[in-house]
Amino acid sequence: MSGRVVGRVISYVVLVLIGLAGIAPFVYLLILSFKSRIDVLTVPPDLHFDWSTIQENYRTVIHDQHYVTFVVNSIIVTGVSTLIALGLGVPAAYAFSRLRFRGADTWASTILSFRFMPPIAVAIPIFLMIRSLGLVDSQFGLILPYVAFSLPLVIWIMIGFFDEIPREIDESAMVDGLTRPLVLLRVLLPLARPGMLVAATFGVIFVWNEFLVGLYIVNSTDRETIPIAASSLLTVESPIDWNLAATVGILTVIPILIFSMVVQRYIVRGITAGAVR
Amino acid sequence: MTAVTANAPRPGRPARLAPPTQGRGEALLLLGPAALYLIAFSIYPLVTSLVRSFQDYNTTKNTWRWIGFRNYEDLFTSSEFWTVVKNTLILTTVGVAIQVVVGTALALFFNQNLRGSAIVRGILILPMLLTPIVVGLMWRALLNPEWGLLNWVAVELGFGYVGWLSDSHVALWTLVLVDSWQWTPFVFVVVYARLQALPQEVFEAGSVDGASWFQRTRMLTLPLLMPAIVFAAIFRGIDAFRTFDLVFGLTNGGPVQSTSTLSFEGFQNGFEFQRYGYASAVSYVMVIAAAIGITFLLRVVRVRRVDVAT
C-alpha cells in the first residue's frame, strides 16, 4: 500500500516539473519585464517588484514604441486574411469533398502539397511581385501572401469536416430544388461551423505569428504587425534593454495566449483531426 | 510533393456514377476562385523561383541574367552549404526523434489522469502557439552568458559554465533543445488524443492476464499508438526541415553558420545579401528534397487521410 502512495507522490512531483518546464521560460520573461535595466543583471532574479518600474516599462513600450498601432495592424491583417482564406477555401473544400470532376485529384494534391512547401521557396518571388505591384509597405501587400499561405490549411481542414457530413443531406436539399452553391450556403455552412472555427483558429495563429514574408514587405512603423515590429526590436545582434525587450515579448504573446485559451478545444481538435479517427 | 489524400480512397464517395463532365460548372464556380488565387500567389511564384535559380540578379540595374547551373555549382561546392545541410538534417532527425520519444512518454504519463493534469496539459499547448520571435527571446534570456538563469543553475549544480549560444559546438544542440521545448507538445497532443480514444477494455483484458505495466505498454499500447506516432513524426519532420523562425529569433545562424538551416540560408542570401538567384537555388534544393522525402515516406508508411494544422 505504501508503495502505491510513494508512486503517487512521485507522479505528482513529475507532473509539477512538467508544468514548470512548460511555463518557466514565460514566467522568467514576465519577471524580467517587471525589472529595471540594472536589476535584470541580478542572478537569480529576486522577487521584489517595484510597481513604478513595472509601470515605466509597460508605459514605455505601449506609448513610445507604438504597440497599439502594431496590435491594430495585426488585428486588421489577421482578420482580413483569415476571412478571405475562409471565403475562398470553404467552397473549394466543399467541391473536393462532393464533386467528381476531371483533374480533381491533381488539383487536390497540388493545393494540399503547399501545406508542406518551405515558405522561403516562394518568399523571394512573392516579395519581388509585391514590390513590382507597388504594394510594398501596405497592409494589402501582407494580406495577399498571407491568404495564399492559409488557404491550403483551410482547404485541408475543411475537406475533413465536409467528409464527415453525410451526402444524403446535400442530396435531399437538391431534390428540394437547391443548386450546389445554395446547398453549401444554406444547409452545410451551419453544419460545418465547428470546422470553420478550427480552420479560422489555425489561420489566425499562423498569420498572427508570421514574419518571414512580412519582414521585407513592410518597413514603416505604422504598417508593421506585432511580430514584424518585435523582430526588428529584438534582433539577435542589437544590444537591447532586456527589461524592455521582455516587455515587448510579453505584450506580443499575451493576445495569442488569451485567444488560445478561448479556442483551446478547437486547437486540440485541429491538431488531432485525422490522426484520431 | 505528393498529397496525402491522393492515394487513399475517401469513404462515402461513389465510384464515378456521374460522367466526369457533369458538375463541371459547379466545380468551376466553387473551386475557381481558390484555384486562381493559388495560381497567382503560390504556383506562379514557385515557377518564378525555379527560373530565378538559373539567373543572376543585378542589384544596381534591377536586371536578370541567365547563368545556367552556376548558382547550383556554387552551392554544391560551398562548404557553408553542406554545413547548413548537416544542421538541417540534425534538426529533422535527432530533434524530431527526441520530440517523438518524449512526447509519447508524456502521453503515457498523462494517461494516468492525475488530478490537476488538465491544467498542465493546457500549459503544454502554449509553447507551440507562441510567436517564434518571442520564443527566441525567452530562451536568449534564459541562456544569457552573464545573467541567464540556466547558467546560474548549471554552475550551482557543478556543471560549470556552458556557452549555450556562443560555443559553435554547443549552439546547434541548444537549438535542438529549444525546438524540442516548443514542439514536443505537438507530438504529445496527437499521441495523447489517440490514447484517449482507444477502448479501455483492451487494457483491462491485459491487466487481467497479469501483464505488467511495462509489458502492456510495449506489446499493446505502443503498437496501437503507432499510427498517431508516425503521423506526428512526419508532420514534425516536415516542419523541422523548413525551420526558419527559431534560428532567426535565437541565434541568427551563428556562431559562424553553426546553427544556420537551409531556410535561413535562403533567407539570408535572398533578403539580406540580395543574392536572389543563389537564394532561389537554395530554396529549390529544399523543394526537391522535400518532395522526394515526402513521396518516399508516404510509400513506406502509407498514412491515410490525415489532416492537421499547425
For residue B9, name the pLDDT band (cuts at 50, 70, 90): very low
For residue B20, name the pLDDT band (cuts at 50, 70, 90): very low
| A245 contacts on B by Cβ (under 8 Å) | 137
A111, three cell numbers = 493545393
Q: Number of A:B CB contacts under 8 A? A: 345
Question: For residues A235 and A230, what is the distance between their CA atoms, to the nearest angstrom?
Answer: 8
Angle between helices A67-98 and A139-164 (to 10 degrees): 40
Question: DSSP string of A155-209?
Answer: HHHHHHHHHHS-HHHHHHHHHTT--HHHIIIIIIHHHTHHHHHHHHHHHHHHHHH
Closest approach of chain B CAs to the CA of A92, in angstroms? 4
Question: For residues A228 and A200, what is the distance between their CA atoms, to the nearest angstrom?
Answer: 21
Higher-scoring residue by pLDDT: A268, B247 = B247
Determine, for residues B127 and A22 on separate chains, whether the beta-carbon distance falls below 8 Å: yes
- Indicate the pTM of the whole model: 0.87
DSSP, collapsed to helix, strand or coil, labels residue B64 as strand
Closest approach of chain A CAs to the CA of B165, in angstroms? 11
Could you say which of B41, B142, B307 has the minimum Cβ distance to residue A126?
A: B41
Is residue A127 scored above 70 in pLDDT?
Answer: yes
Instruction: Evaluate whether B285 touches B111 at the Cβ level (below 8 Å).
Output: no
Closest approach of chain B CAs to the CA of A146, in angstroms? 10
Give yes or no for B275 touching A (CB within 8 A): no
Is residue B45 scored above 50 in pLDDT?
Answer: yes
| B49 contacts on A by Cβ (under 8 Å) | 121-122, 124-125
Determine, for residues B308 and A113 on separate chains, whether the beta-carbon distance falls below 8 Å: no
First and final CA of chain A: distance in angstroms? Answer: 39
Sign of CA pseudo-dihedral A188, A194, A195, A201: positive
Provide the residue ranges of all domains of chain A, joining segments of one domain with +: 2-61, 65-276
% of chain B with per-residue pLDDT over 70:
87
Domains located in chain B, CATH noted: 92-309 (1.10.3720.10)
Tens of pLDDT, residue by residue over B109-126, are: 998 888 888 899 988 988
Domain A65-276 is in which class?
A: mainly alpha
Tens of pLDDT, residue by residue over A214-227, are: 888 988 888 889 88
Determine, for residues B141 and A160 on separate chains, whether the beta-carbon distance falls below 8 Å: no
| B29 contacts on A by Cβ (under 8 Å) | 91, 180-181
Q: Which of A14, A159, A254, A276 to mutate to test the interface with B (most CBs of B within 10 A)?
A: A276
For residue A73, name the pLDDT band (cuts at 50, 70, 90): very high
| A124 contacts on B by Cβ (under 8 Å) | 49, 52, 266, 270-271, 276, 279-280, 283
Question: For residues A77 and A70, what is the distance between their CA atoms, to the nearest angstrom?
Answer: 10
> B111: which residues sit within 8 A by CB, 6+ positions away?
B192, B195, B196
Q: What is the pLDDT of residue A237?
A: 56
Tens of pLDDT, residue by residue over A155-186, are: 988 888 888 888 888 888 888 888 888 888 88
Tens of pLDDT, residue by residue over B239-263, are: 899 999 899 989 888 788 899 999 9
- Under DSSP, the state recorded for A45 is P
Q: What is the pLDDT of residue B23?
A: 65
Tens of pLDDT, residue by residue over B135-158, are: 998 999 899 888 888 888 888 888
